[in-house]
Amino acid sequence: MNTRAENAWQVTKTVFLRLRFLMVFLVVGLIVGNWAYMNNVVDRWTRGAGADKVSGEFEYYCPMHPSIVRPDDTQKCPICGMPLSKRRKGEKTQLPPGVLSRLQLTPDRIRQAGIATVEIGYRTLVREIRTVGTLEWDERKVAHISARVAGRADELFINFTGVRVKAGDPVYRLYSPDLVTTQEEYLLAIKTLDEVKAQPQPDEEAVSRAKRLADSARERMRLWGVTEMQLSNLEKTRKAENYLIIYSPISGLVIEKDIHAGHYVTVGEDPYTIVDDSVVWVQAEVFERDLALVQVGQEIEITTEAYPGESFKGRVDFIQPTLAMDTRTVKVRIEAENRAAKLKPGMFASVFMRIPLGRRGEMWYDC
């Protein structure tokens, strides 16, 4: 009997011992979990009624708990323990009827939160589409300076790609035996024509034949790239030039160079390729669900990572007739003005399309 009673006492003693540890853990957990609340309560009890009154131009507040306001930053927030932030005190204003309190934020916090206030009124309902695109050259403004006559490039005026040229700038000087021969033929045809016309009674048929020979030689040189100024100079000096200077037909950038000094060019080669970069293309990817809202001629806003805060204007120039099966998008070509040559092919661009969905003051309902 005594043994049974001793066993029961040991079991009861063990249970109470474990319950004591559980109670200790529970009390510690409650204290840790409500530590901030307890500090706040103690702070309210220990501070006087007028202790929180702030005087002066500035005040200090807790960014996490704006209700905590102190006259200085010697203390921390009693709730979260964060250092107090400084702000300029606002003028005390009378709150409108029904407004119980007003929250004041610093300009930095307003910018971080993206808060904006606007006046209530009627505005056009706008659907905004945001997508991405890549920049390319305008294919319509690419000029290939093709060789029209065979010869040898004895001197280059443009020695590397990336050079900016103007329309009419010399590109390279070409020596062509065929061109020299044609110049001699043209000068001979002009001389013959002058002699036939100088006769007392010129033969009309001979004059016509000499004129046809002169016009044929002149047209051949013009098609070879000889300018009107060069032809006029040839007619004035009556002396064949050994070299032909090739000029740039447009202003822009040299993007390809496939020639060197002493290189023999053949008809059809492209020694230089020049592009007018005043306008570039943006190939934007538009999802299938948004395609019905995009129209040719629509105004577009473009931004790039290279120039943050600066936007470029453009317009929809062409919509591809096919859809990419893997991305379910359609390429929309946008023609953008390239101010100061800032936009460069290969750049990624953010494209913003704003489509009005109704006239001013209209309201739309989905029934």
The H-or-E segment that residue 296 falls in is none
Give the separation between CA 305 and CA 166, rounded to whole angstroms: 29
Tokens of 151: 């010869």
pLDDT at 280: 94
Give the separation between CA 191 and CA 173, rounded to whole angstroms: 28
Cα 204 to chain centroid distance, Å, stands at: 67
Are both 166 and 233 inside the same structural domain?
yes
Q: Is residue 366 part of a domain?
A: no
The H-or-E segment that residue 332 falls in is strand 329-337
Are both 289 and 342 inside the same structural domain?
yes
Q: Is residue 227 part of a domain?
A: yes
Give the separation between CA 144 and CA 56, rounded to whole angstroms: 74
- The order of strands in the sheet holding 252-257 is 142-145, 272-275, 252-257, 164-165
**Domain count for the chain:** 4
Give the separation between CA 72 and CA 64, rounded to whole angstroms: 17
Are both 258 and 168 inside the same structural domain?
yes
Query: Among residues 146, 148, 150, which one has the least CA distance to residue 220?
Result: 148
Q: Is 156 helix (H, G, I), strand (E, B) or coil?
A: strand
Q: Tell me the pLDDT tens digit for each residue of 280-317.
A: 999 999 999 888 889 899 899 999 999 988 899 999 99
Which parts of the chain register pLDDT below 50? 49-51, 360-367
How many Cβ atoms from other residues are within 10 Å of residue 5's Cβ?
Answer: 9
**Residue 54 is part of which domain span?**
36-93+102-113
How many Cβ atoms from other residues are within 10 Å of residue 150's Cβ?
Answer: 17
For the question of whether the overall pTM of this predicted structure is more than 0.85, the answer is no
Q: Is residue 119 part of a domain?
A: no
Are both 24 and 47 inside the same structural domain?
no
The pairing of strands 311-319 and 69-70 is unpaired
